[in-house]
Structure 1
Amino acid sequence: MQQFDNKIALVTGAGSGIGAAVAKALAASGARVAAVDVTPGGQVTVDTIKASGGEAIFLQCDIQDSAAVADAVAKTVAQFGGLDIAVNNAGVDPEVAPEADWDETAMERILSINIKGLFLCMKHEIAHMVGQGSGAIVNLASAAGVVGVANKPAYTASKHAVVGLTKASALQYAARGIRINAVCPGAVDTPMLDHNLPPGVDKSLIAANHPINRLASPEEITQAILWLCSESASYVVGHSLTVDGGLTVQ
Structure 2
Amino acid sequence: MKEQRYSSLENALRVLELFSIEEPDLSVREVAERLSVADSTSHRLLKTLLNEGFVTKDDRSNRYRLGISIRALESVIKKDLSLYHTSQHVLSTYVTRVCETISICVLHRNQTFYLHTVEPDPEQMFYTGLTYVGKRQHVLFTSAGKVLLSDKTKAEVKTVLSEVENELSLEHMMAELKQINEKGYNISYNNFSSGITSISAPVKNKDHQVIAAVEILGPGQRITTEILGKYVKLIKEIAHEIETRVDIKNVAIK
Taking structure 2 as the reference length, the TM-score comes to 0.25
**Higher strand content, 1 or 2:** 2
Taking structure 1 as the reference length, the TM-score comes to 0.26
- Structure possessing the higher radius of gyration over alpha carbons: 2
